[in-house]
Structures are given as structure tokens and as C-alpha cells.
Amino acid sequence: MNIISVDLPWREDKKGRRTLAIADLRGNIKTISASDDNELLELLRDNAEPGSIILLDIPIDGCDNLEGKHFRPTDKSLASQGISILPTSKAKDRGKVLKERIQDTNRGKKVIVQEVYPYATYKFLAYLKDKKLLQHLALDKFHTLLDDGFRTFWPLKYKRERDRTQRVKNMKYLYSLVTNPSLGLKFLPPLGYPDTSYTLHKLNELCDEYDACLGAIVGICYANNSSYACIAGDSSSGNILILADLWLAEQIRLKSQSID
């Protein structure tokens, strides 16, 4: 089995910008792209193995229970911990429908389709790096790494930063984070490196690659039974695969109870 993380637009009719990061359990990652959903499904069919974990950066479960609201209970639980999140209502039923199409296309392979949120992974990794604790993720030894400071910690913006020079600088930070030797990942071919000479389109494509790789990182942890891989929420309130230590997992659980 392998792990396939997909960064995709929340509108089916939007062309381009579907990026797949395909990883194995040892942390080898390659990225490929699709121009639309049909090509995406073809690539997933060609690259999925029996038992593969397919991660989608889009709301899947719990969207039927919004009742006019914009956020699911799980979204609110993450937001309470400083993990900002887009309104689920914007995705409508796209994630659910795409999951069904993926499972139908890969019938017999028993693939797992799970929602993932790259920004949550980015914030977790960035906080560990800031606290010089990033090496503990691979060790899977210290179960409590975060603290109250996590809620008000804001990693550098690599997508919505308007100043091009600053944006490229922030993207270089994310690149250094994803390729940090402590994570033990290998990118073949090498992951693209940002440059100020790149067009806006090229920078956006590179951000999609980074998001797909962030999803692959949490997927690798999940597939290897890391104690830091956590599924927040459930099928009715929305469930998202994130990286969390015992402290964060407990904070999310307590917030979910108060929302219920």
C-alpha cells in the first residue's frame, strides 16, 4: 500500500491545480499533477495499491449536517486551538461525491479515503521547529510537545502573503521545513524551490505541491501508526486527519464536547 495526498480546488469545474504527492511508508515522495477531476481519477487508479490511503484536502463528512451554518463542529474545535480553517459550506458535497467516485474507480483495492488539512500539519511542524522539538516527531517518543502557546502561534503565510519577495521568503521557510532531515523524507525528483523570478502561476503551483506534501507527511505518520497521527472528530461532525500530541488531541476533544 502507499499514501496519496491530493491538493485540489473546491470547485469541480476549475481546471488545473490538482496535485498528487505519492509516498511510501519509508518517506519517499514524488509529485504529479492533473488538469481536471477525470485525469485525477485516472492517476489515482493507476497509482493506488490495495489498501492505499488517499487523502483529500477538502471537507468530506459532516457537510450534510450544517443546517445553514458555515462550519462543522470539528472545524470549530480546530479553530479554537488557533488552526484557522475555511468555511466548510463552500465545499458543498464535492468531497463526499469525489470520495465515492474514487472508491468506485478503485473497486476491489479497498482504498481508504480520508480528509486531511495541510495547514494544520504546517502549523504543528512549524511550532515544533520553533521550539527545537522537530526531531521528536520521528522518534515518536515524547507524547506531549505542545502547550498553550500553540494557539497564538502563527506560521509564515506562504499563500496569502501579497508582497512577492516576502511570499517567496515564506515559501523557502516551508520548503526548509518539509525537507528538514529530521522528517527523513526523500523527494524524487527533488521538490521545487521557490524563486522571485517565478510567475504568480508558478508560485501557486509550487504551493500546491507543498500542500500535497504536507498531507503526505501526516499520511505517512498515520500509515506507520505514529502516536502523533490523530483523527479529529467523527463522521457526523466531520473528521480530519491531523498531527497532534496528547495535549492538542485532548484540547480538541474537550472543545468538541462543549460544542455538542
SS3 assignment, position 219: helix
- Check pLDDT > 70 for residue 54: yes
Separation between Cα atoms, residue 127 and residue 122, nearest integer Å: 8
Spatial distance between the Cα atoms of 10 and 93, rounded to a whole number of angstroms: 10
Residue-level pLDDT at 47: 97
| Distance of alpha carbon 7 from alpha carbon 18, whole angstroms | 6
pLDDT of residue 11: 85
Percentage of the chain modeled with pLDDT above 70: 100
Mean pLDDT throughout 150-178? 95
- Give the pLDDT confidence score for residue 257 in this predicted structure: 78
**Torsion sign (Cα): 205, 98, 121, 91:** positive
Q: What is the pLDDT of residue 206?
A: 96
For residues 78 and 175, give the distance between their C-alpha atoms in angstroms, rounded to a whole number.
Answer: 24
C-alpha cell at 28: 519517499
The total of other beta-carbon atoms located within 10 Å of residue 139's CB is: 8
Structure confidence at residue 156 (pLDDT) = 96
The pLDDT confidence band at residue 139, using thresholds 50, 70 and 90, is confident
Q: Which residues pair with 153 in a beta bridge?
A: none
3-state secondary structure of 82: coil
pTM above 0.75, yes or no: yes
**57-106: pLDDT as tens digits:** 999 999 988 888 999 999 999 999 999 999 999 989 999 999 999 999 99
Q: Which three cell numbers stand for residue 178?
A: 518539509
Residue 150 three-state SS: helix
Whole-number Å distance between alpha carbons of 2 and 216: 10
Residue 143: pLDDT band with limits 50, 70, 90: confident
pLDDT at 111 over 80: yes
The conformation of residue 53, written as its DSSP 8-state character, comes to: E
**Torsions phi, psi of 30, nearest 5?**
-130, 150
Q: What is the mean pLDDT of the chain?
A: 94
Q: Which amino acid is at 247?
A: W
pLDDT at 4: 98
**What are the pLDDT digits (tens) for 207-244?**
999 999 999 999 999 999 999 999 999 988 899 999 99
